[in-house]
Chains A and B, each alone.
Chain A
Amino acid sequence: SSHEHKLNFKRSKEACLSYIQDALLQKQWKRAAEFLTCYVESLEKDYSREHIGPSEMIWRIGTEILWHHSQSSMKEFNCFMEQMKTLGVKRYLKVCLEHVFHLLCNGQIDEAYQNLSLAESWRFGEQTAIQDKEMKLIQAYRGLLDYYSWSKQKNILLENGEDGFSDLAVEQEMHSYFRKAAVNLKEIIKIPGVWDVFVKCYVDLLEFYGDHNEAHQVLNEYAYNSKFPANPNAHVYLCQFLKRQGESKKSLISALKILHDIVPSHELMIDFNTMLQKSKKRKKRRLGLEVIFAALDYAGWKENAKAWSCLARQVKQIVISDKHLNWIKQEWNSRKDWWPAFHFSRYLAKRNWQENKSLSYEKALVAGILLGKDCKYFKYVSHQGCKAQLKRFRMLKKFVNRHNPAYLRISG
């Protein structure tokens, strides 16, 4: 505001902040530092009515500058963080936590751990209760680092193999880390939130010590408790766990079904389809078809031969048995307007043929059934395949030709 002649402290500092902001956005760290130097005297003035006060500003801006500035060292950074901790008691734990994150990013695990322990022992009247959430996080991260230490000890043990005696100390340590980690991790995942890292680590610990029930419980809670925010990963972890544990197909399938509803394009869907195809129950096989079609709606699977082979296999099976062609018809109904351009264009036919013959084979089969033997994709690929004298393509051509009535029934 070049014509702002009524200049006072407040406006001057506001202007200063906007210069800092510009400099930060353009990664001009020196310039940002220059203006920050002028801004810091705001600390001596009262801003209690503002939403974000100068001490918070200075903390955040200073952190950015010191982290990125070429002439800044970790020592300076740490010194700055310590100062920031004394600035605002209401923010103490938050600052500690962020400091820890930076230390971790810099690979200083031990310092991070020390800081976490220190923060954990902090008490400040009623503030301790107010900052309860941050405290839980601090404990959770310390738990995480304990897990990390546990994991290291475990690896040492595993590497050394059968060498009994010298491992006793290692084993003791390992168990003690486990106890420390478990306590804290368990606490944090009780609170509704997104705790992927903590959950994974905790489950890992439980599985190692054989407490599968608890692990199952934890994962169930995490995935199905409505108080927790919707999180597809929760379902993935559960599914992976069930698979690892060799749980009944039934429970695995129900878990995977939920995942399919949330994230139809997830990679587990391919396995899911494979599982469902093998099922004796008609409903399951029907679901399988739905699942694989849904997955292929997403661009990420366009070039995936395995996905296409799943679909091809199932389509082939249905066509041969001549039962449930209506399934295909149902699935195809909502897709017939756009799948041809999306998957079966002549351009794609050429490209697929050049890059990945298996892919083109699977796709051609599907195309031949869904779009008939005269469709561009099938014609091109089968022609190329036959020209190249590849046996399976000749078989494919025969197959599609033979089953053209199926196409007619689907498209009709």
Chain B
Amino acid sequence: RDFNERCAQCSEVNWGVTDGGRFYCRSCHNVTERTREVVNTDFITNSRVQTISKGSRKQEKNDGGCEWYICEGFQLVLKKQAEALEALGVCPQMKDEILCSFWRCYLQKSKQAYCKRPAGETVKALSVCESSTDVDSDPERPSLLHLLSFSESEGDLQTDCSFASSVSKVSENTSVCSGSVDGSLYLVKNQKEKLRMTMPMTLSFCYMALLWVREPITLSELLRFVVEGHIPYLNVFQHFPEKMKLCGLDLKIFCVESWPVYEEVFNKMHELAAFLDLPRFPDITESCFLHPDMLCMKYLMEANLPDELHNWTCRVVKKIGIGEVDFLTLTPENKSTRKVKYDVLAAAVIVVVLKLLFLLDDRYEWLLSEFAEERNKNNPEVPMFYSGGPYFEFKKWYEVVKRSLDVEQKKLDEERAKYLWRCEKPLFYSVKNKSKVLKRRQMVVNLQNQFGKLSGSVQRAEKPNPSSFQLSWSEENTDGSCFHGHSLKGILQEKCGLLTAMNPDYWLCTVKLCNEKLCGHLAHYREVEFPQSYHFVVGLFSFLLRIQPSYIHDEVCMIEHKLFNKKLYKKLKYNTVLRK
């Protein structure tokens, strides 16, 4: 790395190391007689990735660090995440076979390893010597100042300037502005084709592997576990070995300051699946957890809705064909099909069923509720063992669920405000500001201690155990707050041997679906236009899935359009109200 002589043949200074440990010029492949000692062959403890075929480069640097590549860092991250998932009960094959195959395949395809010419050699490392004075000279080489859009904490007047000047001492192969070898390369934006690795993408990898082995964990759950701290994400670089020093641009890559967004992880996952040329994923059948019938069951329970509604969700699923294997199973090469969000889909099915049975126009459901209340009053001792439980009263359900939801939402909001993002391992952009960073850290710790003592008796609670259910309702409660066993009798009727809803009407969320590719959504969810009950129900699932209500709304629209397909193509006089 420190070899700065010009090549005898081409006068370039662009050296790599062959397998034999000799220096060779990357531009013209002239091999020199100079060799390099191999110090340590055993760098990464789980050697999933063979050493980058440039050769061993484990010469120790002065500060006790060693050279490492960004993808090695990500590999460590994935390893940690997979281990955490295994601890949560995921099968070991996911980590040992699936995830690491995906990862290897990715490295190969993105030419970071497992191939003859690693990516680094074709792009010169940023040579700052030129760009430090004339920033705009070469549009393809973003200046480091531009990349480092951090500046130091306030009161420090000199950082940006001092940083730029220290960086200009860089030799062309290594960039001291990152601890890793290729940190700066990673942030160069013109690498669109190669699907550059990011922190959110690690979750895409995990999700993809989980989907392949069909583990009973949805993407929203995965993300929730990440936020709750059961899966390393936020400060995962803490677990990097001592020798892997992070600084400068590495921080931009590995330090996240926001929680992963469902959409982003989801879309990346599909991009990745296509990029890796994966075949059709294992089938999602009716017995799979991710099948809408199963997920609906789970969500119905969590939403404290009567079990009887499950018949209806299954009927809807069947009618519109979203329970079919071909619909549910991911086929990466098939780019035109809409990708399935299993959790959102199931939630949306429930919403549609509720609309079918209760209309949810802010009037009808309350009317039905009143009838149910009357009937319940007149039959105080409804036998629990046959013909179902008491009549389901929407009003009571709403009150009970709303109360719990408000409490949980309040707790969640407070937790989010109290979230601690920093960790013990200090981060610095350069060795120069290390002392300043450490001082700041010390002050933060002091202040935390001082005010922590004044916070009263409650210290920060332990991480709650990961659980699949956020809201739980017990049938043993005598206060009648559990609605699982309640009956839909009052709102159903028999017609031609088939049970149908008494509600004859239905209102569509939207008459026309938007083009998702153009405006990002199938429909537009604006608070003012829909009934409050609808908002409540969508809001409930929005909370459970930790996803924007508009995504659930989109799925609802999609389902409705499939369901009322025929009727929509007739000429309608009244836009929104249909007779079933």
Chain A residues with CB under 8 Å of chain B are: 2-3, 5-10, 12, 15-16, 18-19, 29-31, 33-38, 40-41, 43-48, 53, 55, 58, 62, 65-66, 69, 71-72, 76, 79-80, 83, 86-90
Would A41 and B444 count as touching, CB distance under 8 A?
Answer: yes
In the complex with contacts A12-B419, A43-B153, A83-B443 CB distance below 8 A:
yes
Would B416 and A43 count as touching, CB distance under 8 A?
Answer: no
18 new A-B contacts at CB < 8 Å, known A38-B418, A41-B448 = A5-B548, A8-B257, A9-B258, A15-B417, A16-B417, A33-B455, A33-B456, A34-B418, A34-B451, A35-B418, A37-B455, A40-B448, A43-B153, A43-B440, A44-B440, A44-B441, A53-B154, A65-B451
Cα A53 to Cα B152 with chains together (Å): 12
In chain B, positions 434-484 with a C-beta closer than 8 Å to chain A are 437, 440-441, 443-444, 446-448, 450-456, 458
Could you say which residues of chain B place their CB within 8 Å of the CB of A69? 454
In the complex formed, the residue of A with least CB distance to B262 is A5
The answer to whether the Cβ of B151 comes within 8 Å of any Cβ in the partner chain is yes
A sample of 21 inter-chain contacts (CB < 8 A) reads A2-B412, A2-B413, A3-B539, A3-B548, A12-B421, A19-B414, A30-B456, A33-B451, A33-B455, A34-B418, A37-B451, A43-B440, A44-B444, A45-B153, A46-B152, A47-B154, A58-B447, A62-B447, A83-B443, A83-B446, A86-B443
Would A30 and B542 count as touching, CB distance under 8 A?
Answer: no
Could you say which residues of chain B place their CB within 8 Å of the CB of A2? 409, 412-413
Cα A398 to Cα B292 with chains together (Å): 104
Would B416 and A12 count as touching, CB distance under 8 A?
Answer: yes
Would B451 and A9 count as touching, CB distance under 8 A?
Answer: no
Would A38 and B420 count as touching, CB distance under 8 A?
Answer: yes
Could you say which residues of chain A place their CB within 8 Å of the CB of B441? 44
The answer to whether the Cβ of B150 comes within 8 Å of any Cβ in the partner chain is yes
Could you say which residues of chain B place their CB within 8 Å of the CB of A38? 417-420
The answer to whether the Cβ of B536 comes within 8 Å of any Cβ in the partner chain is no
The answer to whether the Cβ of B117 comes within 8 Å of any Cβ in the partner chain is no
CB contact between B454 and one of A6, A10, A41, A72 (< 8 Å): that residue: A72
Would B416 and A15 count as touching, CB distance under 8 A?
Answer: yes
Report the minimal beta-carbon distance from B455 to chain A, rounded to whole angstroms. Answer: 4
Nearest 10 A-B pairs (CB), nearest first? Answer: A8-B258, A30-B456, A33-B454, A34-B455, A15-B417, A9-B257, A16-B417, A38-B418, A40-B447, A37-B451
In chain B, positions 375-391 with a C-beta closer than 8 Å to chain A are none
Would B440 and A37 count as touching, CB distance under 8 A?
Answer: no
Cα A266 to Cα B245 with chains together (Å): 73
Cα A12 to Cα B422 with chains together (Å): 13
Report the minimal beta-carbon distance from B393 to chain A, rounded to whole angstroms. Answer: 26
In the complex formed, the residue of B with least CB distance to A55 is B154
In chain B, positions 393-425 with a C-beta closer than 8 Å to chain A are 409, 412-414, 416-422
Cα A189 to Cα B455 with chains together (Å): 44
Main secondary structure of the interface of A (DSSP, over half): helix
Would A16 and B418 count as touching, CB distance under 8 A?
Answer: yes
CB contact between B420 and one of A31, A41, A47, A80 (< 8 Å): that residue: A41
Report the minimal beta-carbon distance from B440 to chain A, rounded to whole angstroms. Answer: 6
In the complex with contacts A6-B261, A41-B422, A48-B448 CB distance below 8 A:
no
Cα A227 to Cα B302 with chains together (Å): 71
Cα A66 to Cα B454 with chains together (Å): 9
CB contact between B458 and one of A6, A34, A41 (< 8 Å): that residue: A34
In chain B, positions 537-559 with a C-beta closer than 8 Å to chain A are 539, 542, 546-549
Report the minimal beta-carbon distance from A112 to chain B, rounded to whole angstroms. Answer: 23
In the complex formed, the residue of A with least CB distance to B455 is A34
The answer to whether the Cβ of B259 comes within 8 Å of any Cβ in the partner chain is yes
The answer to whether the Cβ of B155 comes within 8 Å of any Cβ in the partner chain is yes
Would B448 and A37 count as touching, CB distance under 8 A?
Answer: yes
Would B440 and A5 count as touching, CB distance under 8 A?
Answer: no
In the complex formed, the residue of A with least CB distance to B549 is A3
In the complex formed, the residue of B with least CB distance to A19 is B417
Cα A374 to Cα B450 with chains together (Å): 75
Could you say which residues of chain A place their CB within 8 Å of the CB of B258? 6-9
Cα A8 to Cα B256 with chains together (Å): 9
Could you say which residues of chain A place their CB within 8 Å of the CB of B446? 83
Report the minimal beta-carbon distance from A107 to chain B, rounded to whole angstroms. Answer: 23
Would A7 and B416 count as touching, CB distance under 8 A?
Answer: yes
Would A8 and B259 count as touching, CB distance under 8 A?
Answer: yes
In the complex with contacts A3-B548, A65-B451, A65-B454, A35-B417 CB distance below 8 A:
yes
Could you say which residues of chain A place their CB within 8 Å of the CB of B420? 38, 41
Report the minimal beta-carbon distance from A105 to chain B, rounded to whole angstroms. Answer: 20
Report the minimal beta-carbon distance from B155 to chain A, rounded to whole angstroms. Answer: 5
In the complex formed, the residue of A with least CB distance to B157 is A89
Could you say which residues of chain B place their CB within 8 Å of the CB of A41? 420-422, 444, 448
Would A46 and B151 count as touching, CB distance under 8 A?
Answer: yes
Report the minimal beta-carbon distance from B471 to chain A, rounded to whole angstroms. Answer: 15
Cα A69 to Cα B421 with chains together (Å): 27
Could you say which residues of chain B place their CB within 8 Å of the CB of A88? 154-155
CB contact between B450 and one of A9, A35, A55, A80 (< 8 Å): that residue: A80
Cα A110 to Cα B89 with chains together (Å): 65
Cα A65 to Cα B289 with chains together (Å): 51
In the complex with contacts A3-B539, A3-B548, A9-B258, A44-B422 CB distance below 8 A:
yes
Would B155 and A89 count as touching, CB distance under 8 A?
Answer: yes
In the complex with contacts A2-B413, A3-B548, A36-B259 CB distance below 8 A:
no
Could you say which residues of chain B place their CB within 8 Å of the CB of A37? 447-448, 451-452, 455
Would A62 and B451 count as touching, CB distance under 8 A?
Answer: yes
In the complex with contacts A2-B413, A46-B151, A30-B257 CB distance below 8 A:
no
In the complex formed, the residue of A with least CB distance to B419 is A12
Cα A10 to Cα B256 with chains together (Å): 12
Could you say which residues of chain A place their CB within 8 Å of the CB of B421? 9, 12, 41
Could you say which residues of chain B place their CB within 8 Å of the CB of A87? 155, 443
In the complex formed, the residue of B with least CB distance to A91 is B155
Could you say which residues of chain A place their CB within 8 Å of the CB of B452? 33, 37
Report the minimal beta-carbon distance from A89 to chain B, rounded to whole angstroms. Answer: 5
Could you say which residues of chain B place their CB within 8 Å of the CB of A71? 453-454
Cα A30 to Cα B152 with chains together (Å): 32
Report the minimal beta-carbon distance from A133 to chain B, rounded to whole angstroms. Answer: 19
Cα A6 to Cα B546 with chains together (Å): 10
